[in-house]
Structures are given as C-alpha cells and as structure tokens.
C-alpha cells in the first residue's frame, strides 16, 4: 500500500473493497505524521493508544459507523482525553479529564484522532507563526505562512496526513488557512458545533470548524459533529432547512450573489490574487449566478471592532489567572494583544455592543437580499520572515475579509479558487469565501460543491484528482430498507425527506393482513399510525424504500411521537423496518383501516 491522499468517502470505499485494512492505513499514517517537517503537530497518540482505537473498531461493523477508521487531527485548544491540551503555550498545558463534546461525537462514529495540531498561541492570530513549537509551514512553499490560528489542522489535511481536522474560528482561523492550503474550511453557524471542551478565545464568538477536501466530506462531518450540546451555553439547535436532507443545487442559475465594490476590496499589492478573484467572479457568472455590487463598508467597519474594540478583553478573560501570574509565559506578540485588554472598560464595552448591533441591522438588510456574498478569503499571503518582522499589521491584513463574520453571526465556507506564483516562483493557493446568514451552511456547501467541481483542482497539496460529487456510492450493506405507509409515500408531502437522503423506491406492496390503520391527531401534514392487530387487522398499502444508513439518524429525528421505528410483516411473509405506532394513540385516533391505505383514505375526504 502506497501513501496517498484520501477523502473520507474514498477511504471508506477502500476499506469496503478490502484494498487495505483500517489497521494498515492508520499505522502508516501515524508513522507518516511522526516524520512531519511542516511543524503541524504538538503531540501524537502512541502506538498503544492507536491499538485501543483499532481494538474498538474490530468490535464494530463498518456499515454502522460513517467515519470508520478515518484519521483526523485536533487543534490543540480542543480537548482529547489521551493527550495534554496546550493552546499553543507550554506553561498553560493541562491534562483533560474528558474529550471535547465534538471530539466524542466523531470518535463514536468511528473516526480516529492521530494527535493535536500546532496553532497560533491561544488561537490569537491568522498567520500560523505564533507558536513555541515553530511556525507551521505552508503546504506549497515552506517559506510562506500556513495561515492561522488553525495552522497545523489545515496543513495536516492538505498534506494528506489526515482526512479531516478540527479547528476553531473567532476571527477567520477556520477559513484563512484553508485558502492558503487548497482545502475547504467550514465555519458553520455559531453554536452549531459544540464548544464544550474548547479553550476559549472569545467565548461568545468562538466556533469549532471543519477542514476537509470536499463538500461531500463536510456535509457528512456536519451530520456527525453537529449534534446539539445542552451543556454548552452558547450552543444552538439546528434548523430543519439546514440538515442533511437539504436539496443540493444543480446549478447557480437564478441565484443572486453579492460582491463588494472595487473600492472596498483590498489585495495588499498582490496583483495575482486580484486577478484570481476577478476570474472567480467570471466563473460565478458563467455558472449562471447574477452578481450584484454592494457597499461593503458596514461589514468592514464591524470587523474593526474585533481587535480595536472590547472583544479583545474577552481573550484576556479566557486566560486571566494564567496571564496575571506571569505574562512573560506568553509570546511577546500575544502579551501585546491580550495585555491591551486592560484599557477597555464596561462603559466602552456597552458602547461597542450598541455600535455592533447597528452594524448588524444594516448588514443583515444586505445579506437577506442575496443567496450569498462572495469575497476573497484572504487578499494576499506573506513569507514567515515578513510576518515576524511586522506581526501586527500583516496579521491584520489576513483578517480583512474574515473578522466580521462571527460578530455578525454569519455562516461561511472557504473554497479553493486558484493558484499563482509568489515572487520566489513557488506555487501558492488562493480561496474565495461564500457567506450568508446563520443556518445557511448546507446551501453554502452546495454552492461550493458546484464551484469546486467546475475548478477540478487536485486535493490539497497532493497530486490526487478531485473525485466527482457522490462518486462513491453507498454499498449494499450500508443501505437499509424502510416501509412507509403515510405522508412519506410517493407524491405525498413528506416523500422529499426520503428522496433528499438518496432514498430509492424498491417496491409498492401491502402489509400482511394483520394491521389497523389510524388517522392520528395533529399535523399538518396529516399522518397515519399502523398498529398490529392479528384478530381484526387488514392488509395496508405500503411502499418499501432503500435508504443509506448514514442518513437514518437525521431522518428519525423528524419523526414525532407516537410513531417510532420497528418491524412490520409484509404480505409475502417477510419482515421489514417500518414506522410503528404506540398502542395508546388509538384511543384518540380515527380508525381508517377500511380504506386499506392512506391514499385511499385521503381521497375519501
């Protein structure tokens, strides 16, 4: 087996086709990251710890775990119980008693963490150079910055060391390093991914982020990691329109995308990135989108509040006791930024809150008019040496298009958008960002998918070709048959919940003559319930649908009581998974068994 870059879906297919085992691949990857030369990693799991994960996988069926044997990286301000958390500061290091909520979700789905990745200290920076473990080197040119603060997380994906990684984003850390390393970065809706077990930067703004090679992978990861965490006071439950059954876009025709006026754009003297952004706009038009220029100044004004306003005091609050014991334990540039928090007072904070709210009203009025707004992710890039010589201003330049996003509560995706050559003649990658209101994550990923497929760039810094969308079809043992008898039947109001999850109609048939059908209270839409009654039952019209198991959880979340998942007997004597109804519901429901099916009952109304 040779080393190669894999998407999650490609790796899963390799396991299922027995090209190699999870043990072979994970042992190889752990050995590879031990030889990393980009300063991606702060700590790695041991071979013994890896064996514990492998033993757990051997007890599981790959069909039941959507991330079976998938290696991933964790930014080292996110807890993993096996390894210390440093937040990029050796003196701050502690041993967590539990893993972060989002990490546990991923591991439960079969993913295997290889270790903790390097970052700008206390997640304060967008450059990836502010670390005692050394600057993380760009995956294309080791003299250039990787972007930060989720630097090691992004580069480890771009180099093919892991299939995906976790970062965080307060000012742009989940997007800037994605753009600089030719991968995707999803800064989901604030609160959608739990921050329990994350060292805060600005607790009211922080987001856990996802880095991966494709939108297919990001959608899958969002399914797994996006569970609501009631113990995170900033967590928010998702909306139905933003779950995995969101209907993907097949084209951009008819969509309106906003772009900042030329006088609002900044490329910091980099003519190549300016040209690439122009080409990205032309691409969007070619794909059918209507582009409309807007005044971007309110967004830029809001961005300035993040470091020039009192939110820097929130960074101080996150590590106040540690910082006060000895500020010299932090890097000089971090001392300067966090130490500056003391100039802010409560009166100034409230004034800034009022100003931000005014900006938000103005900006929301713009955002609501469009399907998305497009910007460069970062206007330029710099050598590590240049950033070390001018750490504050050049870092500020990197956040020009990103600092406002969490302040204004928007969702965003950074998408690879091209390559250029730096003055030393080495290749650099460029990315654009699509952003919109909260809970627009799936829509933005769908738009990003069309852009990525149109570009067709290789994965990260590898020579591996981009797979086509959904190129890896679910195998037979990853599918489950489900009988439906009511609003999920073909042509009825809830059938889209099956088709949007890649459900396929297997057959239309009847149950055994052993069921009663009841019209339940509630709705819309109106729903029936099937209850087994071997003495008085009749045959009920049903359809059998085949559904990918990975979508079953999100599908069942939308099923209200008194319905649940169980087994029903079909007319041919076979038993199949289906909706069943709690017996108590019959007391307040209408018996409609005489119609022999839900369609016939509806036709009688």
Catalogue the active-site residues: 75, 149, 173
C-alpha distances (whole Å) from 292 to each of 289, 369, 451 are: 10, 10, 18
Measured distance CA(395)–CA(435) in Å, rounded: 21
Residue 120 has a CB neighbour count (10 Å cut-off) of 31
HEC sequence for 89-109:
CHHHCECCCCCCHHHHHHHHC
Picking from 183, 182, 184, 206, the residue whose alpha carbon sits closest to that of residue 193 is: 206
String of DSSP letters for 426-489? -EEEEEEEEEEETT-HHHHHHHHHHHHHHH-PPSTTSSPPPPPTT-SPPPGGGEEEEEE-STTS
Residue 34 has a CB neighbour count (10 Å cut-off) of 11
Helices and strands: H and E segment counts in the chain: 19, 19
Picking from 297, 304, 261, 263, the residue whose alpha carbon sits closest to that of residue 281 is: 261
Instruction: Mark out the alpha helices in 368-440 (DSSP H runs).
Output: 384-389, 391-398
Measured distance CA(562)–CA(575) in Å, rounded: 21
Measured distance CA(404)–CA(433) in Å, rounded: 13
Instruction: Please give the structure tokens belonging to residue 247.
Output: 């209907």
Measured distance CA(123)–CA(155) in Å, rounded: 16
Q: Could you tell me if 564 and 580 are in contact, meaning their C-beta atoms sit under 8 angstroms apart?
A: yes
């Amino acid at each position: 087996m040779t080393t190669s870059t894999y998407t999650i879906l490609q790796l899963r297919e390799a396991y299922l086709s027995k090209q190699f085992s999870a043990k072979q691949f994970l042992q190889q990857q752990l050995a590879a990251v031990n030889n990393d030369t980009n300063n991606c990693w702060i700590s790695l799991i041991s071979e013994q710890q890896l064996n514990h994960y492998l033993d757990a996988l051997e007890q599981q069926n790959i069909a039941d775990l959507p991330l079976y044997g998938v290696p991933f990286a964790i930014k080292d301000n996110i807890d993993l119980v096996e390894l210390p958390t440093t937040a990029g500061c050796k003196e701050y290091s502690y041993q967590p008693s539990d893993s972060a909520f989002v990490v546990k979700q991923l591991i439960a789905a079969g993913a295997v963490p290889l270790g903790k990745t390097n970052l700008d200290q206390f997640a304060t920076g967008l450059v990836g150079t502010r670390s005692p473990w050394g600057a993380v080197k760009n995956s294309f040119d080791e003299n250039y910055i990787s972007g930060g603060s989720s630097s090691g997380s992004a580069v480890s994906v771009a180099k093919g060391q892991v299939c995906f990684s976790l970062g965080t984003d307060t000012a742009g850390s989940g997007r800037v390093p994605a753009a600089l390393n030719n991968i995707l970065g999803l800064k989901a809706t604030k609160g959608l991914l739990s921050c329990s077990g994350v060292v805060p930067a600005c607790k009211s703004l922080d987001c856990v982020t996802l880095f991966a090679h494709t939108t297919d992978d990001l959608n899958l990861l969002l399914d797994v990691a996006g569970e609501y965490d009631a113990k995170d006071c900033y967590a928010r439950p998702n909306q139905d329109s933003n779950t995995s059954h969101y209907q993907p876009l097949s084209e951009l025709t008819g969509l309106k995308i906003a772009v900042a006026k030329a006088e609002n754009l900044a490329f910091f003297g980099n003519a190549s990135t300016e040209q690439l952004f122009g080409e990205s706009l032309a691409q969007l038009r070619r794909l059918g989108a209507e582009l409309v220029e807007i005044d971007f100044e309110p967004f830029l004004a809001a961005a300035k509040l993040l470091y020039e306003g009192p939110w820097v005091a929130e960074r101080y609050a996150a590590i106040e006791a540690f910082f006060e014991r000895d500020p010299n334990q932090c890097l000089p540039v971090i001392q300067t930024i966090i130490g500056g928090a003391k100039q802010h007072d409560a009166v100034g904070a409230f004034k800034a809150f009022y100003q931000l709210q005014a900006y938000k009203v103005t900006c929301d009025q713009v955002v609501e008019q469009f399907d998305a707004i497009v910007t460069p992710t970062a206007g330029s890039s710099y050598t590590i040496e240049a950033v070390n010589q001018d750490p504050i201003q050049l870092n500020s330049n990197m956040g020009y298009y990103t600092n406002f996003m969490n302040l204004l509560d928007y969702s965003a995706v950074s998408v690879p958008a091209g390559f250029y050559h730096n003055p030393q003649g080495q290749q650099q990658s460029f990315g654009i960002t699509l952003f919109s209101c909260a809970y627009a994550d799936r829509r933005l990923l769908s738009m990003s998918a069309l852009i990525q497929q149109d570009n067709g760039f290789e994965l990260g810094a590898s020579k591996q070709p981009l797979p086509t969308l959904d190129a890896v079809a679910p195998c037979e043992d990853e599918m489950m048959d489900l009988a439906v008898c009511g609003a999920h039947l073909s042509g009825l109001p809830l059938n889209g919940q099956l088709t949007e999850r890649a459900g396929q109609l297997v057959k239309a048939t009847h149950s055994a003559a052993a069921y009663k059908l009841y019209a339940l209270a509630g709705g819309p839409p109106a729903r029936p319930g099937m209850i087994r009654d071997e003495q008085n039952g009749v045959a009920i019209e049903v359809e059998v649908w085949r559904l990918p198991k990975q979508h079953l959880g999100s599908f069942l979340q939308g099923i209200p009581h008194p319905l649940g998942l169980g087994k029903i007997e079909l007319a041919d004597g076979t038993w199949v998974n289906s909706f069943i109804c709690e017996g108590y519901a019959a007391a307040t429901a209408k018996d409609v068994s005489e119609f022999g099916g839900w369609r016939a009952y509806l036709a009688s109304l």
